Structure 1
Amino acid sequence: MSFLDEHYLLGSETAVDLYESIADLPVVDPHNHIDLAEVVENEPWDDIWAVEGATDHYVWQLMRKRGVPEAKITGDATNREKWDALADVFPDFAGNPTYDWVHLDLKRRFGIDKPLNADTADEIWAETKRQLADDEMRPQQVLRDMNVEVLCSSDDPTSRLEYHERAETEVEAVDVRPTWRPDRALKVENAAWETFVAELDDVTAADLSDFEGFLDALAETHDYFADHGCVACDVGMGTDPVSKPVSDERAGDVYAKARRGASLSDAEIRDYKAYLLEFVGELNSEAGWTTQLHVGAVRDYRESLYEDLGKNAGGDVSTPDVDLVDGLDYFFDCFDGETEIVLYTLDPTHYPSATVVARAYPNVSIGPAWWFNDSPMGIENQLERVAAVDLLANHAGMVSDSRKLVSYGSRFEMFRRTLADVVGEMVERGRIPYDNAERLVEHVAYDRPKELYGLSASSTQ
């Protein structure tokens, strides 16, 4: 087997055949962190660092691990200096999925087969810079070349979705939809919560002086997103997911106390979050949206990195210390059969609990191997667990979860190849016939996410 050849990640001819049956299916990406302004404005990238490194904290973390100074990662060094620094250490990334993704990007998007290292850095820089000057390498065309059919961004409820409105007429052949992400509304313990309330007040007609007005304002933004083609809500649950019955009076009292700037007890914070999570679920159920729950991220764990660079810089971690079964039991029961729920768990030790929960509730689906698990090993382990405990046919499919546009193709390719290999092994071991396996991989790779997120209807564009 040669580097990134047709057998890449495929351990049998059966797996090769299965992958060929899904390789060219359109990409349906229900969860990402795309810079939609970049897509709509459609300006060319200046160089390969802007494409591969400027927004990718996966790349940043690994460069730090190999001793690259921060100035050549997120600092004031030139893009060429950053690219050279990346190339110097890139061979050491071998085994990490970032090594695969970048090389897949170079091969699929630029036709470059050579591995990235200090000796090839100049040649790859020059060749990619030449190609990036071509109109065919602008963001919108790259999306079309990657066969992206649907992408759902992640958006704060206070967003007016200006770029989504422009995308309706300025982005051809790609169905661009927002996703309502009310994390800031739930995080009443954060100093920035009051800022969110003020911003919500600015964009809605409701009176936020009391809790009922606050809920009305959130519902107004929910309707606004629905009018712009939204089909999903995404909630970051952190490490302490909590759902339980909380009275209107109790939640209102906590809201009033928070608005006065008074300190809240842990019990008050938990009660407020539980009430609001149920309210969000009700909004989603009424609108027919899919609710995505991301559980287990420990944000800003590396304190010095957060202090120097802020959030999303590569300082987040996972922990097994999360009780999602007790924490989300009430939520699952409230919306049993009422709304589709996709459960993402960051620590792989939660897969046993997550899969048995999904098995118990037909409307709960396991989301793709998320973040630190988005690798051939992580995807394979998760798919095998879902197949053995729940149903692989009910897996939610793949999402890019990426801020880097060009990586959508490589991430979906890695998933689809691993899916084909996992199912191909079932065929090789005599567990399922080939025709059933072919239907299964096609379903998980394409039909299932469209069905789950209600994307079978025609594009809003």
Structure 2
Amino acid sequence: MTNIKTVDRKDVFSESFLLRSKTAENLYFGYAKDMPVIDYHNHLEPDVISKNQNFRSPTAIWLDGDHYKWRAMRNFGIEEKFISGDASDQEKFRKWTEVVPYTLRNPLFHWTHMELNNPFGIKEYLSLKNIDSVYHKMNDNLQMPGFLPQSIITNFNVETLCTTDDPADNLQYHKTIKNSSFTTRVLPTFRPDSYINIINTENYLRQIKKLEKVSEINIKSTSDLLEALYSRIQYFHENGARISDHGLEYFPDTKKWSTALENEFKEFLTGNKKSFSDPEALSGHLLKELCKMYAEKNWVQQFHIGATRNNNTIMLNTIGTNAGYDAISEQYFAQRMSMMFDELNTAGKLTQTIVYNLNPSFNEVLATLVGNFNEAGIKSKIQLGAAWWFLDQMEGMKKQINTLSNIGLISTFIGMLTDSRSLLSFSRHDYFRRLLCDIFGSEMEAGLLPDDEQWVGSIIQDICFNNTKNYFRF
């Protein structure tokens, strides 16, 4: 009989949250809990970290821009003015509190209360019954030095974090942070989506002008564009960047580019054509060439695949992008990705790569694909990335962990990241670590894994921290 613990139903915030056995507790408290955090992909704003100023309210740190919470509020029928509109901070907080008791079995229920617990020390269910006391306690704490952005990051034991940055960014805030007394390493990540994906012609040409200005290169062809992007890769590298990232709704065909399309693109850039006929071909061509540049710099490249974005045109025009109107895509992309990886690998230009999959029906497909391009001396050179976005929840993480365990090596996995715009989301590392220890602990007690706490504990520590540190070589 396994040693399953009985947990007090009222004590969801107990120290043993998610840890359903004594062995799981031993793994978590003895090996996982106190390992440092490397959050190698997030959307935190470097200016907020650099300026290190008090947040104006709990709404500012907790609700602003959080499209997970926004979607839940819309599902509950909350009026948009209380979500992304002009309602007061306290009104928005009250409307979110109204929704929280109804988020049962949604990951937001766990995340919300973990974020209240750490760093605010609030160990009670949030509802309209205690909204005033919770709001005021959060607000009072946010005025204290221990709740400044840098202090919150330190509280979560973050050793390194990597923001997501436009190639045209001057990285001034990263420079300021580097030259300050802040001990957490804050590094930029090169995200060139706006320059290789034509979604809106006007916006695309505006981005090209911005890149021209910062690179001091007149962009009249794809060669000029790639030269300008390479100059920014150099600049990012000089300022600590070692990672690139691409958000792709589908994986483009990297073999479609032609001389005719090159000539058309030149006409498009000069304004002689109002649109470009084959944005996918352009994206594929530029992506492959950028991958070669990343390999030259020995960077790690990331591909986020499987989202269909901005599905609600009315709300896109009203609020803009990243507002909670995205979904999982059903487009198949693995074969194209494999072909590009093979071409780069044959040319000696395939750098370390992380592939994040948003469509769970492709988990096994991608787990087998990434295993085709390993290299001596690098553990799992091509990684099946952590469950993300809609899959960043208990079942999604379990599926990703189990798929990687069955088809690859979970022991070489580089672990969790937040992929978030909120400083409070670092609690997701703890959530992942608890879940990981519960999975291993349960299988140890069932006789499926060795009853050797030190052996398994060392694997847990590798997944939580050591593999990540070795993989990125920061």
Q: Please give the range of the TM-score, normalised by the shorter of the 2 chains.
A: over 0.9
Shift of 1:419: 1.3
Q: Does 1:360 align with 2:372?
A: yes
Q: How does 1:218-297 map to 2 (within 5 A)?
A: 218-244=229-255, 246=257, 249=259, 252-261=262-271, 262=273, 268-297=278-307
Q: How does 1:195-206 map to 2 (within 5 A)?
A: 195-206=206-217
Match of 1:179 among 173, 189, 199: 189
Shift of 1:171: 5.4
Counterpart code for 1:450:
K
Matched-pair identity in %: 28
Q: Distance in 1 between matches of 2:460 and 2:432?
A: 11
- Contact (CA 8 Å) 1:140, 1:171: kept in 2 or not? no
Q: How does 1:269-418 map to 2 (within 5 A)?
A: 269-319=279-329, 321-336=330-345, 338-362=350-374, 363-408=381-426, 410-418=427-435
Who is 1:132 aligned against?
A: 142
With normalisation by structure 1, the TM-score equals 0.94
Counterpart code for 1:222:
I
Aligned in 2, Cα 1:171/1:186: closer, same or farther, shift over 3 Å?
farther
- Residue 398 of structure 2 aligns to a residue in which SS? helix
- Contact (CA 8 Å) 1:235, 1:294: kept in 2 or not? yes
- Residue 234 of structure 1 aligns to a residue in which SS? strand
Q: Distance in 1 between matches of 2:181 and 2:430?
A: 23
Who is 1:459 aligned against?
A: none
- Contact (CA 8 Å) 1:241, 1:295: kept in 2 or not? no
Counterpart code for 1:276:
L
Who is 1:105 aligned against?
A: 115
Q: Distance in 2 between matches of 1:223 and 1:171?
A: 26
How many residues end up aligned between the 2 structures? 451
Aligned in 2, Cα 1:189/1:35: closer, same or farther, shift over 3 Å?
closer
Q: Distance in 2 between matches of 1:441 and 1:69?
A: 44
Q: Does 1:33 align with 2:43?
A: yes
- Contact (CA 8 Å) 1:103, 1:116: kept in 2 or not? yes
Segments of structure 1 that go 5 or more residues without pairing to the other structure are 456-461
Q: Distance in 1 between matches of 2:274 and 2:407?
A: 44
Shift of 1:250: 5.3
Q: Distance in 1 between matches of 2:97 and 2:314?
A: 26
Who is 1:429 aligned against?
A: 446
Q: Distance in 2 between matches of 1:44 and 1:204?
A: 35
Q: Distance in 2 between matches of 1:271 and 1:47?
A: 46
- Contact (CA 8 Å) 2:220, 2:270: kept in 1 or not? no
- Contact (CA 8 Å) 2:311, 2:326: kept in 1 or not? yes
In the TM superposition, what whole-angstrom CA distance separates every residue of 1:221-245 from its partner, at most 9, and x where no partner exists? 0000000000100011112433337
- Contact (CA 8 Å) 1:245, 1:330: kept in 2 or not? no
Counterpart code for 1:333:
D
Q: How does 1:203-218 map to 2 (within 5 A)?
A: 203-218=214-229
Query: Relative to structure 2, which stretch is displaced further, 102-111 or 278-287?
Result: 102-111
Counterpart code for 2:458:
R
Q: Does 1:10 align with 2:10?
A: no
In the TM superposition, what whole-angstrom CA distance separates every residue of 1:220-276 from its partner, at most 9, and x where no partner exists? 0000000000010001111243333746x456324313314426676x323222211
- Contact (CA 8 Å) 1:241, 1:323: kept in 2 or not? no
- Contact (CA 8 Å) 1:251, 1:275: kept in 2 or not? no
Counterpart code for 2:233:
H
Counterpart code for 2:366:
A
In the TM superposition, what whole-angstrom CA distance separates every residue of 1:333-364 from its partner, at most 9, and x where no partner exists? 13337310100011111101111112222221
Who is 1:118 aligned against?
A: 128
- Contact (CA 8 Å) 1:19, 1:416: kept in 2 or not? yes
- Contact (CA 8 Å) 1:400, 1:411: kept in 2 or not? yes
- Contact (CA 8 Å) 1:40, 1:171: kept in 2 or not? no
Q: How does 1:79-90 map to 2 (within 5 A)?
A: 79-90=89-100
- Residue 423 of structure 2 aligns to a residue in which SS? coil
Tell me how large the CA RMSD over aligned residues is.
1.7
Counterpart code for 1:325:
A
- Contact (CA 8 Å) 2:251, 2:337: kept in 1 or not? no
Q: Distance in 2 between matches of 1:397 and 1:242?
A: 30
